Structure 1
Amino acid sequence: MVNKAKAAVKEKKFDTLRFVAMLTGVLLFAIVYWSPMWPDAVDPAGKHFILSREGKGALAVFLLAGTWWVFEVVPIGVTSLMIGILQALFLIRPAKVAFKDFMDPSVMFIFASLVIGTVFTKTGLTKRLAYKMLEIVGERTSMILLGTFVVCTVLTHIMAHTAVAATLYPLLIAIYSLYTDETKPTKFGKALFMGMAYVAGAGSIITLLGAARGAVALGFFKDIMGQDISFFTLTYYMAPIGWLMTFLLWGFFMLLLPPERKTIPGLRQKAAELSSKLGPISRDEILAAVIVGLAILVMSLRSFIPALKPIDKTAIILCSTVLFYVFKILDLKHLEEVPWNIVLLFSGAMSIGFCLWETGAARWLAVNWLVLFQDAHWFVFVMGIAFFVMMMTNFIMNVAAIAISLPVALVIAPYLGVAGEVILFSSLVVSGMPFLLLVGAAPNAIAYNSKQFTSGEFFAYGIPASILLMAVTAFAVLVLWPIMGMPITLPAGG
């Protein structure tokens, strides 16, 4: 009876928090949407950026969605539906436009990535890979964590971080099953899955193959500055940062979420036994590996073969989904098991991102923020840009976050004697690591599917992780990149 009473009190407290969080989101929406028109944003050249009624509405939806996502007042996919609903009901964007974003190619890419994870699990490939990895890294949980982080970073050198997360997710599920049989979350589980999401972002900044944002940003930089940044130049400056963040994040999780067990006695032997029980590799495993391998190869070659560049990566990866069914590796049951909550989460994220972009709200925010630093010290200015991009990339597409901030930043930069390269590279660093919200990057949402952490926990751990990211960016700007030869400030009179 006492336990039942305690449970009832706990449930009541949770409901109260849920109600307050839900009401807070609604109030924020109402206050912003029905407030009088806000002043224009004015850039250093004197150009005015008006915040239209639709733009103010986009900010209102943005605040409601962010609040509901963080506190998870309803399933995160349902919050995403509210993003489309509010745009249509309050005439912020036409319903046809708002809901069309729910099937954006990026969303379909995530869907295909989740299907790859299903295939790897169903065929047994993940168990085979997991057991081999555990035989190598041994029985210490700290080394298991480090091993998965290193593998994740290495893979992002040649694969999109979304595909890496989808590939590693079932592998981590197999590893975690050997750690405990309990269904409730553990510190090790949180560190393993959240860490994978964080490190996928850290690794993705190192080459142009890790994410689309790099190639888009370099093209954008060339248009504005008239300068080419090569594939290898980007990797030269970004590799030390990506790998430094990988090892720092390992230390971060070992400090804040130390595994309950330092070792798993007999793990290496158990992994070897389980591996031998799997028997010879099956037809489905071979087919799945070949299909996924070919999809990854073609997507990677797009950066080097001009004839392949026009082919969208989503079409390529969706070919793998179709082939899984053509060769009967998957059936209808597996299609129905796709975590649609995660797919809807990113559908809503794309919709609010495009909404902020198309209504001009994002640019209005960028100009208002960056002009605060037009008379600041050059270092404060660079870090101010980095902070803005880091925050925005948690809510909207990282490419869009860079695109709205770079033009304004590059107009102000010469007045403060700041070189364009340091603005570009610091923006690329932080845009790759959205540690606060699940919608910031696909690996975040894929990791959430493990049920090892809530969206609120992800946000809470993301605060110190984001502070760590800003500290590393500051180190790169002040110390590392100047040593490596990157121009940071312009010559006097230049």
Structure 2
Amino acid sequence: MNGQNAKRIFFICLGVCLFLVLYYAPQFSSAVDPSGKSFELSQQGKAAIGLFFLASIWWVFEVTPIGVTSLMIGVVQALFLIRPAKEAFRDFMDPTVMFILGSLLVGLAFTKSGITKRIAYKMLVVVGEDTRKILLGVFIITALLTHIMAHTAVAATMFPILVTILALYNGDNPEGKPTKFGKALFIGMAYTAGAGSICTLLGGARNPAAVGFYTEFTGKQISFVDFSVHLAPFGWASVFLIWALLMIIYKPEKAKIVGLREKATAEYAKLGPINSKEIFVSFVVAFALAMLVLQAIIPALKTMDRSVPLLLAGVLFFLSKVLSVEDLEKRIPWNIVLLFSGAMSIGFCLWQTGAAQWIAIKWLSMIAGAHWLVFLLAVCFLVLVMTNFIMNVAAIAITLPVALVMAQYLGVNPELVMYGAVAMAGMPFLLLIGAAPNAMAYESKQFTTGEFFVSGIPASAVIMGVLVIMTFTYWPVVGMPALLR
């Protein structure tokens, strides 16, 4: 047995043991809220906490495909009578999961039609040869694309374009020896893919997942427009601050890339005139986005789930043969879709069994009397750390149910907690496993894991600073005070 397999077996057993220990553990003491009300932790709640630990360990150390771990979440709930199988697996087809699938289909259609390459090459023609402007242009295009595509799809689309830019920069260095420009280019792509992805519900799975939990716990809906109004300024402030930070850490060796504009012009010319497929995809996506936006102002559309426009777009792409059955079978990351399904199931399990409320009140007693800002920063820092170790949607599923319960006892606006957590979950700047764009950027071989981590420390500090500024300035102006009245 090699060391890697032994490590895998160890973590499989560790997760199972933790679950069984909690499942068979004696009854825990009651949690008492500030009003003196007592909350017992049921056997099902105790088992839900054990399942949370099991899933977390398996997700973090990837002892099996992450989608398989999600299937295990449903199986264990039914097998150990934590929740009925019908409830446990119903969450796997939650409308939030369907929204995520729809966003993946939209991103795939954009890539297959060639729209993303057309946008990127046109950007290079516009920004010219100044390396600082090139980096800023790349970051802006990356962030813009994440408004309508999952950030993983955006990173996959941008990567070959960045390789071309780097080759032109290297010139007499065809071996691709790491450069400061290369480090800034690829690390910045990963960071800004995360920053841009918090601006709309389409940017990443953790966005609709968080909104789904918020709606489940509060009964209030968050529209597509509401989400963007609150988080788009946060995301774009982060994009420009990241660019400024990387210009300090990795100032490019060259001021210009000679010949880049001509190369971009030639590549754009190869794409030819805008074709009917691109026009059709643009029209369908624009129609779907319009429906999402109009939900906020047209009463008849408010009852329509936000997954419907994107799924309708996906159906139209298949009917028009923009997408094929091969795309459905081979290019949709079903492993990731299952991850989202399992994350929703474990999150609702913690809530419905009372485990989330019990944990929240126990945790609350540890920070009794703390200022509301301390609570907010503690929650957001926890999400920021967790999302560097596990998939961000899992970090949201684990943290948000507890944080939303705690917020009501401290009188903190749950919207503030939700938006702050989403922002942090979208920007794991420390470890490669925190997000797919991080790992994709590493494939460039322009930086080491240590360099990525060191760069991520000030970048993470910057976004925590943006959080504090938004909390005291912009968010109250748009009708989201920190405290409930």
TM-score by length of 1: 0.74
Deviation at 1:279, TM superposition (A): 0.9
Matches for 1:95-174 after TM superposition, within 5 Å? 95-138=85-128, 143-151=133-141, 153=143, 163=149, 165=151, 168-169=154-155, 171-174=157-160
Contact 2:23 2:47 in 1 (8 A): yes
| 2:164 aligned partner | 178
SS at match of 1:375: coil
Q: Deviations over 1:117-171 (max 9, x none)?
A: 2222222222211211222344566655533443455577xxxx57463773454
Correspondent of 2:324 among 328, 331, 334: 331
Letter of the 1:203 partner, please give it: C
Contact 2:130 2:257 in 1 (8 A): yes
Correspondent of 1:41 among 31, 46, 60: 31
For the residues of structure 2 that align with 1:111 and 1:264, how far apart are their CA atoms? 39
Contact 1:62 1:352 in 2 (8 A): yes
Deviation at 1:437, TM superposition (A): 7.9
For the residues of structure 2 that align with 1:34 and 1:28, how far apart are their CA atoms? 10
Deviation at 1:322, TM superposition (A): 0.8
Deviation at 1:297, TM superposition (A): 1.3
Matches for 1:222-241 after TM superposition, within 5 Å? 241=234
| 2:259 aligned partner | 266
Change in 2 beyond 3 A, CA 1:262/1:38? farther
Letter of the 2:340 partner, please give it: F
Matches for 1:400-415 after TM superposition, within 5 Å? 405-406=403-404, 408-413=406-411
Deviation at 1:273, TM superposition (A): 0.5
| 1:203 aligned partner | 199
Contact 1:127 1:174 in 2 (8 A): no
For the residues of structure 2 that align with 1:311 and 1:155, how far apart are their CA atoms? 25
Contact 1:398 1:431 in 2 (8 A): yes
Correspondent of 1:425 among 412, 416, 428: 416
| 2:46 aligned partner | 56
Letter of the 2:70 partner, please give it: S
Contact 2:127 2:133 in 1 (8 A): yes
Letter of the 1:165 partner, please give it: H
Contact 1:202 1:243 in 2 (8 A): no
Correspondent of 2:289 among 296, 300, 308: 296
Residue 371 (str. 1) matches residue 365 (str. 2): yes
Contact 2:291 2:309 in 1 (8 A): yes
Deviation at 1:275, TM superposition (A): 0.6
For the residues of structure 2 that align with 1:216 and 1:24, how far apart are their CA atoms? 29
Q: Which moved more, 1:12-21 or 1:462-471?
A: 462-471
Deviation at 1:238, TM superposition (A): 6.0
For the residues of structure 2 that align with 1:306 and 1:103, how far apart are their CA atoms? 26
Residue 74 (str. 1) matches residue 64 (str. 2): yes
Deviation at 1:71, TM superposition (A): 2.1
Correspondent of 2:347 among 332, 336, 353: 353
Deviation at 1:242, TM superposition (A): 3.8
Change in 2 beyond 3 A, CA 1:46/1:113? same
Q: Which moved more, 1:19-28 or 1:401-410?
A: 401-410
Deviation at 1:173, TM superposition (A): 3.9
Matches for 1:428-443 after TM superposition, within 5 Å? 428-435=419-426
Change in 2 beyond 3 A, CA 1:378/1:114? closer
For the residues of structure 1 that align with 2:473 and 2:278, how far apart are their CA atoms? 48
Deviation at 1:274, TM superposition (A): 0.9
Change in 2 beyond 3 A, CA 1:249/1:363? farther
Change in 2 beyond 3 A, CA 1:339/1:31? same
Percent identity among equivalent residues? 41
Deviation at 1:276, TM superposition (A): 0.3
Aligned positions, number: 455
For the residues of structure 1 that align with 2:7 and 2:246, how far apart are their CA atoms? 27
Contact 1:164 1:200 in 2 (8 A): no
Contact 2:360 2:405 in 1 (8 A): no
TM-score by length of 2: 0.75
For the residues of structure 1 that align with 2:72 and 2:116, how far apart are their CA atoms? 36
Matches for 1:238-253 after TM superposition, within 5 Å? 241-250=234-243
Q: Deviations over 1:443-490 (max 9, x none)?
A: x7664795857xxx8997898465554444345557888999997789
Deviation at 1:358, TM superposition (A): 1.4
Contact 2:78 2:84 in 1 (8 A): yes
| 1:6 aligned partner | none
Deviation at 1:45, TM superposition (A): 0.6
Change in 2 beyond 3 A, CA 1:95/1:125? same
Deviation at 1:301, TM superposition (A): 1.5
Change in 2 beyond 3 A, CA 1:111/1:376? closer
| 2:305 aligned partner | 312
Q: Deviations over 1:37-81 (max 9, x none)?
A: 222221101112222221122222211222222222222222222
Deviation at 1:429, TM superposition (A): 2.2
Contact 1:152 1:199 in 2 (8 A): no
| 1:8 aligned partner | none
For the residues of structure 2 that align with 1:258 and 1:34, how far apart are their CA atoms? 57
Q: Which moved more, 1:127-136 or 1:139-148?
A: 139-148
SS at match of 1:65: helix
Contact 2:192 2:239 in 1 (8 A): no
For the residues of structure 1 that align with 2:243 and 2:73, how far apart are their CA atoms? 35
| 2:5 aligned partner | 15
